[in-house]
Chains A and B, each alone.
Chain A
Amino acid sequence: MNKTKITRTMKQIVIRNGRLIDPLHGTDTVADLFIAEGKIAGIGAAPAGFVAEDAIDATGLVVTTGLVDLAARLREPGFEYKATLESEMAAAVAGGVTSICCPPDTDPPLDKPGLVTMLRQRAKNHDLARLYPVGALTVGLNGRQITEMAQLREAGCVAFSQGDVPIADLQVLYRAMQYAANFGFALRLRPEEASLVNDGVAHDGEYASRLGLTGIPVVAETIAIAQITQLMRATGCRVHLARVSSGAGVALVREAKQHGLPLTCDVDINHVHLADVDIGYFNSQYRFDPPLRGVRDRDAIVAGLIDGTIDAICSDHSPVDDDGKLLPFAEAERGATGLELLLPLTLAWAERAGVSLPQALAKVSSTPAAMVGFEASLSIGARADLTVFDPDASWRVTTDALKSQGKNTPFLGYELKGRVRHTLVKGKRVFDA
């Protein structure tokens, strides 16, 4: 990278009088913040020789590290009719998300170094959020042949995953974990035993029974977690569990962590707020994989976030067009748009659960950043990926208000607090409301 060239195009920016929240260090103070050469150059007092070429007045606003989303589907390559890199990158920065991990379940899947290089280059051309691809764990996500993980890592993959396609053959998973452990790579696995999902579409509980929807039992998750933790013990592989959904699953993760396994996990923001009973009369906006589980499961997720069992919250951003949703519940496409809702819904959770802003924001910035492999903090020398938001500004979630090409979410029509005013990536303003 040509550093001198970058330096020349970068403005020195001062963000004045903002409430600086550093989730990594848990600090919350009002001060000026100075940016130079894409990095934080000063806090409180300007560094020597600083000349502000640009200023942001952040009076009454929160200034914090940019959000890091561990799972956002951008639909490129292969599903451009649903969304494009450009539309979703714009949605990300509008939502204060400065770094995105994209799962490998594109078409073709991210199973070749060339594809990863191309995707990263295309993302770089848009020059909005940073993109961290997650490579495919098996070729074509076929669950049989492991990928060239080391070469994928060189091409920029930060972890390896099967997306939502679990590996049925434990022999393959075992070997894949050994191979990844050999290089010190982390796997991101969604804990789900496919044979227990079968044709299930909703949490196997009273509500699904009432609606006559085929249930996905909690054991589909707990059995997978048990298998994965056993294989971790056998292989030493680091694993991050993607989108744990059940109270029993959270309990298993807690236990594994207590035993010192190198296990981390996340939950998607929808599962922090919603439960199976919200499906109402077959509302396909509530069709998720894993399914929305019972109210007690949701409460266990909230408790797991507070006690640290659950490390991070992701958006699980999945742009789905209306054609994908205007179908009977079981046939409807799963998922919801989320990049622009991650911040306000995290704030809503924090308020309801009585969690401090630094602690809540850590779940969507500094902690996932550490999993990706960088430090997100408000300290001198840290990357100037910043989100400036008004925590008290309310806005209504409408299709017009969303920049993402995916307009479908259960939160359409909701009034949410927390509006992003400015987003900076590498010290550059990439979004201003």
Chain B
Amino acid sequence: MAVGRRWPPLEILAMDLKEAYRFPIPEILAFLYAFFPLIFSPVAYAAMGLEAEEARLLIIMSLSSSMISFITIILILKNISYGLANEIRKGLVQTYLTYPVGRASFFLVKLISGVLIPIAYIVLSICVFTGLLFPDLALKHLDVFLLGLLAFVADVLLPASLMFLAAIAVRRGGASLAIGIALLFAVNVISSILLMIGNITGWEGVRHVYYTLNPLAALMRHYSLAIGGTPLGPGGGAPTMWECVAYLSGNYAIAIAFYVAALIYFLRRFEPV
């Protein structure tokens, strides 16, 4: 039969989205991503009392994203840690890889449906919330807004990369889910330990590692954002803007390295049975 294939992975993506985001999942997500920023909006107005406008913007973004970051992580756990691992175990990934679709393209499809779409939800939610309630502030400090957005995404992207790697290596929904949750806790526990060590010792190296794992904290520290009068982050001076950018880049580099490691494994060794 005549072959004039359009990009076949698009069809896999369409099938994957119909499975992962079937009714009523997108409707519930849309509600949650709109609901939580709105219920936090009165608190966001209270932040208008802060002196620095950049700090105000960051706290507004932080308030709008606090619950939805959690929902996004849950969504990624469902899609990747449980969903992808189960699809491998049950043989759906084998079915898809039987079709004339390159492994790299298939990997991209799973990345889009499992990680990038939940991240798009969180970005859209922050943008809509901040844009609707505080458009002038966001536009005036667009650079801070964009950096803040990247920092919020980094908070999700790095743990998601670990979950992705674990899912294709473990291939069992339950075990992969447990590992995903354990990894989330591990990242948070390591951050807390680093914060504690940094505060006690004031070591620069610990500070760099902590801020690389938590670029949002670096950004908030840079703008001297404090909770209860205590500056966020380990002791020592506030990071400069360039340091914040470096921490953010470092965080993305680590996440990308994990995704590349997963891709290389998927291309060279992954056996979907």
Q: Bound pair: A and B? A: no
| Contacts from B to A (Cβ < 8 Å) | none
